Amino acid sequence: MVRLRVTAMLLVLSWCVTTLSPQGPTTPGHMPPYLVSLIRVIANPNDFNGQRIRVVGFLGPGGGLDRSVGLYVSETDGRSHIVPNSIDLHVEGSRVKDLMGRYVLLSGTYHAPAPRASYNGYIDQVLEVGPWP
């Protein structure tokens, strides 16, 4: 009788974990984005090169004349255009224009910069971008 109850509880628990998981079950070809601090990505770019990541940052204009978009560590960095504290975003401006000047939650594929580059890499293939609650 005890064995039957334990088995039933394990089945229910297993179902809850797989069904109610926010990112669902993973398969080798589809891994969920890795939630990581933007500071950690900037400090260790090669650890995340080519990986899908999920980060929170302040969305602001990039440092160049090309009207690029940057994801900054803080609002102060974004408003002051402190480019060493940012990552470039390769995303259409129309997709993020309503989010400029706000903290956002973003997921996409990160690409590390070349050695001694003047930027901290970039994120493209943006899957999700929205306001940070």
Segment 3-47, tens digit of pLDDT:
555 444 544 444 444 444 444 444 445 667 879 999 999 999 999
Domain that holds residue 69: 32-131
> What is the average per-residue pLDDT within 49-57?
96
**Is 5 a domain residue?**
no
Least confident segment among 10-19, 67-76, 100-109: 10-19
Q: What is the pLDDT of residue 8?
A: 46
Q: What is the CATH number of the domain that holds 114?
A: 2.40.50.140
**Is 18 a domain residue?**
no
Distance (Å, whole) CA 112 – CA 25: 28
Confidence at 94, pLDDT banded by 50, 70, 90: confident
Segment 112-128, tens digit of pLDDT:
999 888 889 999 999 99
Alpha carbon of 48 to those of 31, 82, 99, 122: distances in Å?
14, 22, 25, 11
* Overall number of domains in the chain: 1
Q: What is the pLDDT of residue 100?
A: 94
**Is 103 a domain residue?**
yes
Phi, psi of 65 (to 5 degrees): -85, -5
What torsion, rounded to 10 degrees, do the Cα atoms 23, 24, 26, 31 define?
A: -20
For residue 67, is pLDDT > 50?
A: yes
Residues 6+ apart with CB under 8 A from 121: 41, 45, 49, 87, 88, 110, 111, 112, 113
Instruction: Centre a 10 Å sphere on the Cβ of residue 22 and count the other Cβ atoms it contains.
Output: 5
